[in-house]
Amino acid sequence: MKPARILTVAGSDSGGGAGIEADIKTIERLGGYAMAAVTSVTAQNTLGVQGIWPLPPEAIEEQIRSCREDIGIDAAKCGMLGGTAAVEAVVVGLAAVSGLKLVVDPVMRAKGGDRLLAPEAERALRERLLPLATLVTPNLPEAVALVGHEVASRSERERAAQELVAMGAGAALIKGGHGEGDELEDLLFDGGRFYRYRAHRIATRHTHGTGCTLSAAIATGLGQGLELPAAVARGIAYVQTAIRLAPGLGGGHGPLDHHAGQAPWQES
């Protein structure tokens, strides 16, 4: 049986904890076949982002086309896009995929606070990319930026999720990791009902790439035929395990264990 073909459209993280590097690790660990369209090259590590070099939009579109026309794409995720031209290139490239399941992770800032999406590109993301999305997965600050109001209370988060669906997304997952307290709640609205996923906060600084990892995990599940609530549940469980087993690398926000406890390969 052939694996699900999953495309990640995102920036490259030289430190390996986020971006296409985290996505590829996640997709392969969950049984998919990983492909990548790189939107930008970054110099970054657990301490922050030291440099960003965007790729030309035609390079982004051509990477997507190359994957689409030969191998095929069952599902995709978008992460760091950078600017308006990149958003437009992704829209053109992915709109040509029939029946695509697309997870949009609206990456706007890095863990250390560095801006990763130009302000003028936010409108293009809302108006052009969200209508292609099967699911959009903002954290709390990203949700505020997208809908223009606070999301501190449960009712505000429900309203935000509904507004994101009204913008054109098939469903919205408001992630609660930036909230307060020991208990986390991620809120999924699929256009008809709400689903709540609760987890205990793991006390650690090693959380670099959690959003990238979750969106890649959900896209993999969708490409494998899982229903959306089940794909979200498996993705959250995988991220929780990867955080718990984080290898403790770097002096800042360290990467996860994308092996999630799997032993290294050995020749038999």
Residue from 84, 137, 210, 220 carrying the catalytic annotation: 210
- Please identify which of the residues 39, 46, 207, 220 carries the catalytic annotation: 207
For the stretch 121-147, what's the b/e string if a residue is b when 16 or more beta carbons lie within 10 angstroms of its beta carbon? bbebbbebbbebbbbbbbbbebbbbbb
Amino acid code (one letter) for 82: G
- Give me the catalytic one of 78, 101, 175, 221: 175
Catalytic residue check, 241: no
Catalytic residue among 11, 82, 176, 209: 209
Determine whether 207 is an active site residue: yes
Catalytic residue among 46, 93, 111, 212: 212
- Is 137 noted as a catalytic residue in this protein? no
- Measured in residues, the chain has a length of 268
Q: How far apart are CA 229 and CA 222, in angstroms?
A: 10
Torsion of CA 238, 243, 249, 253, to 10 degrees: 120
| One-letter-per-residue 3-state SS of 83-143 | CHHHHHHHHHHHHCCCCCEEEECCCCECCCCCECCCHHHHHHHHHHHHHHCCEECCCHHHH
For the question of residue 67 being annotated catalytic, the response is no
For this structure, is 212 an active site residue? yes
Look up residue 257 and give its two tokens. 């264990």
Q: List residues with catalytic annotation.
A: 175, 207, 209-212
